[in-house]
Structure 1
Amino acid sequence: MGISLAYFMVLLDTTVLAVAEPSIMSSLHTDVVGVGWATTIYTMALAAAVVFGGSLADHCGAYRVFILGVIGFGVASLGCAVAPALAALLVLRALLGLFAAAIIPSSLSLIASLYPDPARRGGAISAWAAISGVAMAAGPVLGGWLIAADGWRSVFLINGPLVVVVLALCRTSIVSTRHARGISWLPHIGLAATLATATLAITQAGQRSWLLAAVLGLLAVGLTVGTRAVDRSSPAPLVPAALRRNRAVWAAFGWGAAVNYALTTVIFSIPLLLDTTAVGAGATLLPMTLLVAVNPLLTGRMVAAHGPLRLIRMGFIAFPFGLCLVAIAIADHHQPLVLALGLLLSGLGVSWTLPALVAFAVDHADPEATGSVGGILNATRQVGATIAAAVASTLLTQNQEDAVASLPFLVAAAVCVLGLATAATQRVARARTAVASGASATRNPA
């Protein structure tokens, strides 16, 4: 329970801030790009450091890393609550992302240690996703109430009591396997620099600073190549050898990025586009967020019965349909029924896909790399979220009315269609492999 509550806290901090965007813009005298950075710098820091967090969990022990992450997250949250200006808030949000990067992979590693049996582990992961999914439902609504009562700073103060509860529930040490795998700093620094530069390039493109955007884009490409080269020669690479050529696990990483791209597009854009209060924005998002909260438990049973791949495909079918309906509703003067239906389908997409792809990744990975799987999976998810917030803020800076405002959702729908295509390819590839193996056995009987 305490492990899931910690993950709840990390996700709550993302969703609760969504409805605070207009309030932050007014209080700190910033614009859509500024509040976009308040979102992206958290996900960017999380994406850059979560792989390191997974390696640290494997090397130092998941329980120790988990507890340190929870304490640091609480302290950084209190700092965000008293931030006097946007610059200070951005620095503290980055720290918040770094501590979140310690919590997520270590929590997944602890679950794997507590439930070594694959069947029980699948149920535990689904429960972890379900409890943390409540943050998706609670975040916008709770955030709306807190902002209405005491302003946007109160959305960070709520983490203090949650940290105390998590530490109380997890006061008994959980034994987890430690591996003698070293840690190299340079590849992690290169990853952080690459993400930051790429996000800056997207933002500058949105502000039509084309020359600067092109320079930053080229620099991001160069950093990507350099980081990859350094990582290959590193004694402790970002990606362990056990995962490097595991196509199934890398497919799950890509799916996680696609789902978080679409999810962040909705959560970031809707509060900015609707002419309503923070409470109203939270209520509008409920058709999606409630499903994300309650449906993963059913998803866990369906995964156990049919395997994760079917649920992943179902999610990538529902999500683009939902996003297209949201785009239609926004373009056609915010039609409430169409918007609600679109958000409902989007909620099905998230709640079917995310728990299933986590189970898929864990099931196809080497047990010794569980912490790294959690780290890389969440890194790719946060990369998707970071790019989504940057792209959405870029598009909405240009124009927030009618057809132009629907563009972020249409782009997200296209990303989900790409995810569906790769999921279908994964199924066909596995079927072909089975056929080939059968044919080989026929030709070479034992």
Structure 2
Amino acid sequence: MSAPTVPAERSRTPQLLGLSLAYFMVLLDTTVLAVAERSIMTSLHTGVVGVGWATTTYTMALAAALVLGGSLADRLGGYRVFVVGVAGFGAASLACACSPDLAALLVFRALLGLFAAAIVPSSLALIAHLYRQPRSRGRAISAWAAISGAAMAAGPVLGGWLIAVAGWRAVFVLNAPLALVVLVLCRSRIATVRRARAISWLPHLVLAATLASATLAITRAGQRSWPQAALFGLVALALAFGTAAIDRSSPAPLVPGSLRRNRPVWTAFGWGAAINYALTTVIFSIPLVLAASPARTGVALLPMTLLVAVNPLLTGRLVAAFGPVVPIRLGFVAFPVGLCLAAAAVAGDHAVLLGVGLLLCGAGVSWTLPALVGYAVDRAAPDAAGAVGGILNATRQVGATLAAAAAGATLSPRTPAVPFLIAAAVCLIGLASTVARHRSRTPDRAPELPSDRVSN
């Protein structure tokens, strides 16, 4: 079968907007909930631990299912998986809004994470097939990152307003009309390359259990429940060995063969984990350090969140002009400097210094993340684009979870700067790896799309 005709740039714009809004919706659900915690505690008669699980359940399900979501996108077709994910996300959001108690909210939050895991890798795979030239693909991914990154800026402000007007349930109701808009914008089917092999479910289920157990171990360690952390850690380790053993004999392995020894792609996965570690450290620690109202916290974070929303468009131009490694390296330079300034600011209560530090942190995210996504996609086979998206976002979620646990364990009134300094060290390791990657002289070429096995 011949490859599908790629539509003109103008006709692809609504679809790109829809794909970007879908990711916006997934990120908004995380950032907007941060300011709803007190309202949920009062409404559902729960405490800090309960509302913490409302957040952790979502991220656990998302991290555990992202690789499966990527495999489904590769093997069933990215468009089918994307549509189901968006529709399910909207329905699960309404279910969260109608939750009568905490137990029901946790169940529906887990479902929300599963549908989000279908959206993220499939949206990236669809962009890879809409824009098959590396330069145009880089610009499209930058626009995708800019629109979705606006959720970071809009979340705290929009969430505070919605809660003031209609309570925490309005935060979830918002996702339903957004899902409808996405489905309308992406109503035209996007043809994607897919594999003909069936999915082997057992490795995915064991991997999901592995990631969930590891997340529980990290979370309990952050809460300093060391016996439970050790128990879950041992379970995660045993499940990890089981996953590897099962996957070796699987007819449809978790990681496509073209990715198994693809060092540039796995390096990009590590970069993604490092960036999310640093980003989550800031988002988790700043509200606790400031101990301010949601509105004031949102304003304090604006230097970072606004830049994350706007700067990826410039990153796309940098990638087109110099390749992805230059903005990735710029980000890994800006981020640790910003984190060190933020550490000095929270230790000495300097608002201006904190603003400058957060501005540099925003530059670090917005330079690095869109470029490394394009870097990974360009170096993977076209039929592995969904797997790349799934694994990349899974490693990012692991980095985020580890950051929250580490910050929770080290942040105190006496040591407010420690989490920021640890995150700066993580970014410097990322910077060192960009130098090592450059010295390996890996060619900056994207693979050609095959002409068969196209899903229409």
Query: What's the TM-score, normalizing by structure 2?
Result: 0.89
Task: Provide the secondary structure at the position in 2 that maps to 1:430.
Answer: coil
Letter in 2 for 1:418: I
The verdict on how the C-alpha distance between 1:275 and 1:210 changes in structure 2, with shifts beyond 3 A counting, is: closer
Partner in structure 2 of residue 200 of structure 1: 216
Q: Deviating runs (4+, > 6 A) in structure 1?
A: none
**Aligned residue in 2 for 1:247:** 263
Match in the other structure for 2:231: 215
Which residue, 360, 366, 372 being the options, matches 1:351? 366
Asked whether the equivalents of residues 223 and 408 of structure 2 are also in contact (C-alpha less than 8 Å), the reply is no
Two-structure CA RMSD over aligned residues (Å): 2.0
The residue that corresponds to 2:12 in the other structure is none
Higher alpha-carbon deviation: 202-211 or 225-234: 202-211
Partner residue, 1:388 = 403
1:40 touches 1:390 (CA, 8 Å); kept in 2? Answer: no
Q: CA deviation at 1:100?
A: 0.6
Question: What corresponds to 1:444 in structure 2?
Answer: none
- CA distance in 1 between counterparts of 2:240 and 2:46 reads 31
Matched, 1:411 2:422: yes
CA distance in 1, matches of 2:48, 2:365: 26
Q: Which residue matches 2:8?
A: none
Q: Which deviates more, 156-165 or 293-302?
A: 156-165
Q: Give the alignment partner of residue 171 of structure 1, picking from 167, 171, 187.
A: 187
User: CA contact under 8 A between 1:50 and 1:376: conserved in structure 2?
Assistant: yes
Which amino acid is the alignment partner of residue 52 of structure 1?
A: L
CA separation in 2, counterparts of 1:339 and 1:82?
A: 39
Q: Secondary structure at the match of 2:441?
A: helix
Q: Is the 8 A contact 1:62 1:107 kept in 2?
A: yes
In structure 2, distance between residues paired with 1:20 and 1:197 = 27
TM-score (norm 1): 0.91
Distance in 2, matches of 1:428 and 1:21, equals 47
Deviation at 1:27, TM superposition (A): 4.1
CA offset at residue 429 of structure 1?
2.1
**Structure 2 CA distance for aligned equivalents of residues 273 and 156 of structure 1:** 27
Aligned to 1:378: 393
For residue 427 of structure 1, what is the aligned residue in structure 2?
Answer: 438
1:136 aligns to what? 152
Asked whether the equivalents of residues 277 and 423 of structure 2 are also in contact (C-alpha less than 8 Å), the reply is: yes
| C-alpha distance in structure 1 between counterparts of 2:101 and 2:414, whole Å | 32
Residues in 2 aligned to 1:362 and 1:206: alpha-carbon distance in whole angstroms? 33
The alpha-carbon distance between structure 1 residues 226 and 126, as it changes in their structure 2 partners (threshold 3 A), is: same
For 1:297, the equivalent position in structure 2 comes to 313
Give the drift of 1:95.
0.9
Q: 1:64 aligns with which of 64, 80, 91?
A: 80
Asked if structure 2 preserves the Cα contact closer than 8 Å seen for 1:33 and 1:393, the reply is no
How far the C-alpha of 1:395 sits from its partner, in A, is: 4.2
Question: Which residue of the other structure, out of 72, 77, 85, is the alignment partner of 2:101?
Answer: 85
**For each residue in 1:231-254, what CA deviation from the matched residue of structure 2 results, as whole angstroms up to 9, or x when unmatched?**
122111111000000000000011
Aligned to 1:181: 197
- Please give the residue correspondences for 1:227-242 in structure 2 after superposition, counting only pairs within 5 Å: 227-242=243-258
Deviation at 1:356, TM superposition (A): 0.5
> Which one is further off, 340-349 or 214-223?
214-223
Partners of 2:199 and 2:402 in 1: CA distance? 27
Q: 1 CA distance for matches of 2:433 and 2:45?
A: 43
Instruction: Look up the SS of the partner of 1:285 in the other structure.
Output: helix
- 1:51: Cα distance to partner? 1.2
Does the 8 Å contact 2:277/2:399 carry over to 1? yes
CA deviation profile, 1:175-225 (whole Å, cap 9, x unmatched): 222211321112212222122222222333344433332222222211111
Partner of 2:354: 339
2:378 alignment counterpart: 363
**Structure 2 CA distance for partners of 1:309 and 1:204, relative to 1, 3 Å:** same
The worse-fitting range, judged by mean Cα deviation, of 209-218 and 237-246 is 209-218
Q: What letter corresponds to residue 264 of structure 2 in structure 1?
A: A
CA displacement 1:274-303 (0-9 Å, x = unmatched): 232212211111100000000000000001
Question: 1:50 touches 1:379 (CA, 8 Å); kept in 2?
Answer: yes
Partner in structure 1 of residue 287 of structure 2: 271
Percentage of identical aligned residues? 70
